[in-house]
Structure 1
Amino acid sequence: MNELCRLISNFIKKLTINKEKILNINVNVSGRVNPESGYSFSQFNFEERPLADVLAEKLGTK
């Protein structure tokens, strides 16, 4: 998870646009994922909250 967030953050830092213009970050996750709640049941399921919430917190964006 930390490596994924590091890669995304580094990519964003290299962009020539203002970070505030980024509306969303979308990540495709294979396996069992509940699209309504955001829970991943096969990968990144080590927290008791939706993956979307974890990524938003670590990356500072939706």
Structure 2
Amino acid sequence: MKTNRYLLVYMGEGAMPSADVAYFRASSHVLDQSRRCLLVDDQAEHLRELLRIKHQWQFQPEQLRKPLAS
């Protein structure tokens, strides 16, 4: 099965809840994190299932941008 890289973005107030971060780390392959999002390598269907109980989170595909030529 094909996997993709997605950003899980926390839409709630303040920093991401540590319990949510632990939940995603135990359930998915977390590659990196910032103050308000996690970069994960997983299938979209699996992420949708995980987010069914985490209503303050959204996910979107990672978008890589080419640097502008100078």
More helix by share: 1
Higher relative contact order (CA 8 A, sep 6+): 2
* TM-score with structure 2 setting the length: 0.29
Provide TM-score, normalisation by structure 1. Answer: 0.32
- The structure in which a higher percent of residues are strand is 2
